Structure 1
Amino acid sequence: MSSLRPFCLTAWLAAPAAAVLLLLAPAPQSHAQTQAAQATPAPAQSADPAPASPSQTNVAATSPEQRGITARAIDKVKQVAKSAGDVFNRVPCLPPKGGSKAMGSLPHVAGKLVAGQPVLIVAFGSSSTAGFGASSPEFNYPNRLAAQLRRHYPTADITVVNAGVGGEDAPEMMKRLQTQVIDVHPDLVIWQVGTNAVLRNLDPGDTAKMVEDGISRIQAAGGADIVLVDPQYSPAVNQRGESAGKMVKLLGKVAELRHVGIFPRFEVMRDWHENQSIPVESFVIADGLHMNDWGYACFAQLLGDDIIRSVGQIKLGVNVPGDVRTYRPM
């Protein structure tokens, strides 16, 4: 079983390499170029404050070994930044032309941000959460999402934990729900589920019932905000179109009944292909199932946009259902 991989944004902000990236990055010229700078480097070892400018850094006072470590970190950051920019420079990441259904409110996350308290997000799921198909960990969706939220909330202490395990679906995820989700006391759980159930010909109704039970347990344990992510639109999934359609519909129904958010990944990815005329191979790798760097990056971007929009609604006192935790069985 894969271990949890936390992504601490405050540690990243403290790294000297991050400061160099900020100095080297050109000023954004358009919305598409702003979206491009999204890669999230792994946290650096140093916890010392980042220098404000090169003139404030006494390079001569550092040891050769320290200079070597810093230089390598700078090169890594520059390389990741260039790759990130290339992703959306080739193909812009645009929301569905017709718009997607509103995610709803995220009162727990909003409350923490308003109060200036740390926010913990758990990305729970299978291989597309773990990042299979991405060229490096920087390009999996939890890291891309973390980078986006850091940019939008620069003073917030936000941690994203990647709890994705390849090959799993609801039956296996339920076995680790307590230890890897509930016991870490998250503020937001992003639960990606259903794809492997479709590929295994499992009953979509059984999956929906397990997911509903898992949501009930998460809500009873502390009321974390929850966002479901349904299966991806890809050739392997589309070969079982009837089952995929049922899964998407039932997960949407669970989200509605339990008053949690849902990110309609299947519809978003189908829009890429059918309405935006993006070839499938531009967002899915050769196995016909998993997303590539662009697919993960655009998925994370649009998911992050929805999260930010939902948090913003809470701050403005809009769209805050009073019965957000009311239980209505399927």
Structure 2
Amino acid sequence: MRSSGPFFTIAFAVALSVAALAPGAVTVARAETAQAAPSDNTTGAATPGNVASVDPNAAQQKGLAGKAIDKVREVAKSAGDILSRVPCRAPKGGAKTFGSLPHVAAKLADGKPVLIIAFGSSSTQGYGSTAPEYTYPNRLAAQLRRHYPGADITVLNRGKGGEDAPEMMKRLQTEVIDAKPDMVIWQVGTNAVLRNLDPAETAKLVEDGVGRIQAAGADLVLVDPQYSPAVNAKAENASRMVKLLGRVAELRHVGFFPRFEVMRDWHEGQSLPFESFVISDGLHMNDWGYACFAQLLGDDIIRSVGQIRLGINVPGNVQAYRPM
């Protein structure tokens, strides 16, 4: 068995961290034991003897041990995340800018519950997955909870097969806005392409919906159509739809996840056959496809939130995810 994989690296790091922790932890334990010895001062008042018995290095040693423990926990969390990931890589070049997610970042910073709504059609609902836990919203929820173990994160699935912007706009208020989400991930455009709807009309509806979601105070990420044989059969409409949705994201300053380009890279850049990520209907993703999609989307969300928390926020007028 090779020992150079990510699991070995993480396991080795955990071992090193534990080893580094041990001496400091022993010192702290001894110091705390000494301080816990019985005292003649039954009133609890300070006495010169008590002050003299305190190890002046105890606080420093305890701080070092605490940092070591935090490091072990961080490494363990990373190990757990690696073991839960599928073998999936982002397109070469990656995302230039995903977008700002100030509401989600603020809620996480304040320790408040975070509500994310996945809004869309059958690929949000999860058609093609073999079990509910393998849909992209559930995969995304699991990844975010692993990364933020102390946070209360809920991802609601509001996908409904066969719909596109006209039908989605009818339930936008009741199923999305009324729930007061902190973030909405809106997957749209695929069925419009398949139904030969005018991409420009779809884009107008989406822009109106984006404005309503923003007015409700939620962060937003748009997700464009999938790259698959059924969609590619309508290549001209698909190309226009992808460009127009990207333009809406740019104009409205919201996040944009270029699923079409990501999936095209799987097939053309990484030489994966369609059947490795699309089911036999030539349209919907399989378990691996949903997992990789959720994984890359989750990575971008985590990266964006991290930048905000570090004060490296994206300017408000440059918040759209730039395709490769």
User: Which bracket does the TM-score occupy, shorter chain normalised?
Assistant: 0.7 to 0.9
Distance 2:177 2:149 in 1: 27
Counterpart of 2:252 (choices 232, 237, 258) is 258
Equivalent residue for 1:202, pick from 189, 197, 202: 197
Q: How far apart in 2 are the matches of 1:291 and 1:185?
A: 29
Alignment-derived partner of residue 215 in structure 1: 210
Identity %: 77
CA offset at residue 220 of structure 1?
1.4
Question: Which residue does 2:306 correspond to in 1?
Answer: 312
Q: Are the counterparts in 1 of residues 277 and 286 from structure 2 also a CA contact under 8 Å?
A: yes
Q: Could you say what secondary structure the match of 1:231 adopts?
A: coil
Tell me the equivalent position of 1:6.
none
1:146 positional shift: 0.3
1:283 match: 277
Q: Does structure 2 conserve the Cα–Cα contact (< 8 Å) formed by 1:102 and 1:306? A: no
Question: Deviations along 1:241-298, whole A, 9 cap, x unmatched?
Answer: 1110100000000000001001000000000110111111000000000000000000
Q: What is the letter of the counterpart of residue 186 of structure 1?
A: P
Structure 1 residues 157 and 171: alpha-carbon distance in aligned structure 2, compared to 1, 3 A threshold:
same
C-alpha spacing 1:185/1:194, structure 2 compared with 1 (3 Å):
same
Tell me which of 115, 124, 136 is aligned to 1:120.
115
Q: Counterpart in 1 of 2:227?
A: 233
**97, 102, 105: which one aligns with 1:102:** 97
Runs (4 or more) in structure 1 with deviation over 4 Å come to 29-37, 322-325
Q: CA deviation at 1:31?
A: 12
1:135 to 130, 133, 139: 130
In structure 2, what is the Cα distance between the partners aligned to 1:272 and 1:244?
18
Letter in 1 for 2:228: S
Task: Verify: 1:245 aligned to 2:239, yes or no.
Answer: yes
How many Å apart are 1:101 and its aligned residue? 3.6
User: In the alignment, which residue of structure 2 is the partner of 1:7?
Assistant: none
Moved more, 29-38 or 176-185: 29-38
User: 2:81 and 2:232 mapped to 1: Cα distance?
Assistant: 29
Which amino acid is 1:188 matched to?
A: M
Change (3 A) 1:216 1:201: same
Q: Provide closer, same or farther for how the CA distance between residues 195 and 319 of structure 1 changes in structure 2, counting only shifts above 3 A.
A: same
1:296 equivalent in structure 2? 290
| Cα deviation code 1:295-314 (max 9, x no counterpart) | 00000000000000010111
Q: Are residues 289 and 33 of structure 1, via their aligned partners in 2, closer, same or farther at CA, if it must alter by over 3 Å?
A: farther
Partner of 1:16: none
Q: Distance in 1 between matches of 2:185 and 2:318?
A: 17
Q: TM-score, normalised by structure 2?
A: 0.72
Separation in 2, partners of 1:116, 1:324: 28
The answer to whether the 8 A contact 2:118-2:157 is kept is yes
Whether contact under 8 Å (1:130, 1:140) holds in the other structure is yes
Q: Is the 8 A contact 1:107 1:320 kept in 2?
A: no
TM-fit CA distance, 1:109: 0.3
Q: Tell me, which stretches of 5 or more residues in structure 2 are unaligned?
A: 1-74, 320-324
Do the aligned partners of 1:134 and 1:293 also contact (CA within 8 Å) in 2? Answer: yes
Q: Provide the rounded CA distance (Å) in 1 between the counterparts of 2:110 and 2:76.
A: 32
Q: Distance in 1 between matches of 2:225 and 2:79?
A: 29
Q: Across the two proteins, how many residue pairs are aligned to each other? A: 247
Partners of 1:254 and 1:128 lie apart in 2 by: 21
Tell whether the 8 Å contact from 2:77 to 2:147 is kept in structure 1 after alignment. no
Shift of 1:36: 6.1
Q: Hey, what does 2:187 align to over in structure 1?
A: 192
SS of equivalent residue, structure 1 residue 159: strand
Please give the per-residue CA displacement for 1:178-220, whole angstroms capped at 9, x wherever unaligned.
Answer: 0000000000000000000000000000011000000111111
C-alpha separation in 1, matches of 2:279 and 2:80: 25
Q: Structure 1 counterpart of 2:305, which letter?
A: V
Question: Which is higher, the Rg of structure 1 or of structure 2?
Answer: 2
Aligned-residue offset at 1:318:
1.2
Is 1:177 paired with 2:172? yes
Cα shift at 1:35 = 5.4
Letter in 2 for 1:225: D
What stretches of structure 1 of length at least 5 have no aligned partner? 1-28, 39-89, 326-330
